[in-house]
A and B are shown apart, each in its own frame.
Chain A
């Protein structure tokens, strides 16, 4: 399968060339946000206020890390389930965000936003939080510290192992359950 090493923020060209099934090792700057931070970002946009991060080319990692032990920049840091951010993702893509990282299926509105704005949805291996943590070299809370594990963090990552699940041309990597095989279709 095609394998790329890419840098975040992600360029439009990079995002558009990726296809479902491609392996990407991601370097650079990404942001963490999950349920509470997404709601807050959305509220700020509704109120016409400035966001605490630059969305241009942004890669948003759906993660609420565990606390850092002494000597570590961050704790365990694997993906959370993405569908809970489906309500917010299209708006962020429309404002320049290029990619999200999570696990689990996305709805049609998110897949359409990936096509409309040239975005990509990456999957990381759920339950591999210690493994993925090792790719995070710097971590800093940049907004919403009161949210604790849900705070918005800026991460510098090196060779974060990702798989392209949904691409900008409608590709999908997750399989549909084979209902015929069990007599349910």
Chain B
């Protein structure tokens, strides 16, 4: 067994919350900086110009990229040969508390009914997975409300198949229009159960913009559906243009013979996520 100190977990989570909210991942940043040159309309170019300037400003001032610094979502992979010398869930939440406090990040967590703010952006949404090895991997995503609100889960009939999946995704993006801050990133979760499809869709948003799915069939489907989304002409901020989405990633899992669960998780262009390994 390898021991990981809970103090190191707290520090790593604190730091990743602050850093991810100020610095876009390199792949997303590249898309956003180069996006303007791919558009024809002056309005679309201007949106990309402002987004690019915003990235530079966040880096130079330490202001968060967006005032919506998100609910704190974590995917944690615990190597089965790791021993954490404290309460891991408490440690992650303490890291969030410190990061959102000391990093001047917005606290967006509130009670569903009273709407009373919890005051420190906890509790985080934490997904755990046990994996082989002696490492602790913590992937963080700052998930803003505007794009999350445009996300949906549905249960298709198996016979609807790939055509049904395409139709649902295209309809969702068409209805969302300017609301989720396009150019968006789209995570598609297919299969499993109701809740598992949603988790897969969110995991898909953790993938790099330019990665290629190791499953050739899914790689082709991702390419096909992304091209269709970008024919919708919603464009940056919904003002028309070629780039409605920067990426579309699919993750799948076997499902019940009666079902075809489908989740579409939409992420805004400020796709803030980062991983640390302890």
Contact = CB atoms under 8 A, between A and B. Distances in A.
A181 interface: yes
Contact of B67 (A1, A77, A83, A177): A77
Interface stretch (B72-80, B104-112, B187-195): B104-112
Nearest to B64: A76
Contacts of A83: 179
Contact of B268 (A123, A126, A161, A179): A126
A125 B47 contact: yes
A105 B67 contact: no
B173 A66 contact: no
B261 interface: no
A104 B51 contact: no
Interface residues of A, number: 48
Contacts of A103: 146, 178-179, 181, 237
B150 to A, nearest CB: 9
Interface centre among A65, A72, A77, A126 (most CB of B within 10 A): A126
Interface in B18-55: 42-43, 47, 50-51, 53-54
A13 interface: no
B54 A129 contact: yes
Contacts of B6: none
A92 to B, nearest CB: 20
A179 B167 CA distance: 10
B233 A65 contact: no
Interface string B109-126: 000000101010000000
A128 B51 contact: yes
Interface in A55-111: 63-69, 72, 75-78, 80-81, 83, 103-105
Nearest to A134: B57
A129 B66 contact: yes
A173 interface: yes
A130 interface: yes
Nearest to B146: A81
Interface in B254-274: 268-270
B62 interface: yes
B15 interface: no
A171 interface: no
Given A68-B104, A69-B104, A184-B170, A129 B178 contact: no
A72 B237 CA distance: 27
Given A75-B106, A103-B237, A105-B179, 5 more contacts: A76-B58, A80-B145, A125-B51, A149-B67, A163-B239
Interface of A: 1, 21, 35-36, 63-69, 72, 75-78, 80-81, 83, 103-105, 123, 125-131, 133-134, 147-150, 161, 163, 173-179, 181-182, 184
12 contacts: A65-B106, A67-B105, A75-B67, A76-B58, A76-B66, A103-B237, A128-B53, A131-B54, A149-B106, A161-B50, A177-B232, A182-B228
The 6 closest A-B pairs by CB, nearest first: A177-B174, A126-B181, A104-B179, A76-B67, A66-B106, A130-B63
